[in-house]
């Protein structure tokens, strides 16, 4: 994507976003733009599975609108998570969409098991390849 300064507002990527370059479109559709985050996993700042991190402006905005929003910080952010395999990825135009994502994040945290992490990692692959809301 081309970088644009939006000030304190963070504009989510969306279908047809003119900031996405042609090669960027291919990279984003394949979700390989997330691979550099593996370095954060190796450093211990992230986990393979956990709530996907959001921009700070989104954290500030949604924590004021969704009472349970900050509960998602009880786990390390992850490369993939329960919300992603449930199809709750991509832009969140409505607060209800973010609420559904947050609910999945909290469900993951409250019911964590090693088996759950393995299941999520296995299910992530087809979701990345078949997701219609990756752009």
List pLDDT tens digits, range 116-130: 999 999 999 887 666
Distance (Å, whole) CA 126 – CA 116: 16
**Residue 30: per-residue pLDDT:** 72
Residues of the chain with pLDDT under 50: 135
Distance (Å, whole) CA 61 – CA 121: 29
**Residue 135: per-residue pLDDT:** 47
**Residue 112: per-residue pLDDT:** 96
For the chain, what are the domain ranges?
A: 22-130
**Residue 19: per-residue pLDDT:** 77
């Amino acid at each position: 994507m081309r970088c644009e300064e939006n000030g304190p507002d963070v504009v989510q990527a969306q279908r047809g976003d003119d900031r996405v370059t042609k090669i960027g479109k291919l990279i984003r559709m394949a979700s390989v733009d997330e691979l550099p985050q593996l370095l954060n996993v190796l450093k211990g700042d992230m986990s393979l599975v956990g709530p996907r991190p959001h921009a700070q402006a989104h954290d500030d905005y949604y924590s004021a609108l969704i009472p349970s929003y900050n509960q998602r910080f009880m786990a390390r952010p992850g490369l993939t998570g329960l919300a992603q395999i449930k199809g709750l990825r991509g832009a969140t135009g409505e607060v209800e969409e973010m609420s559904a994502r947050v609910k999945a994040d909290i469900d993951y945290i409250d019911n964590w098991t090693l088996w759950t992490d393995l299941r999520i990692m296995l299910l992530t692959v087809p979701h990345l390849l078949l997701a219609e809301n990756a752009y």
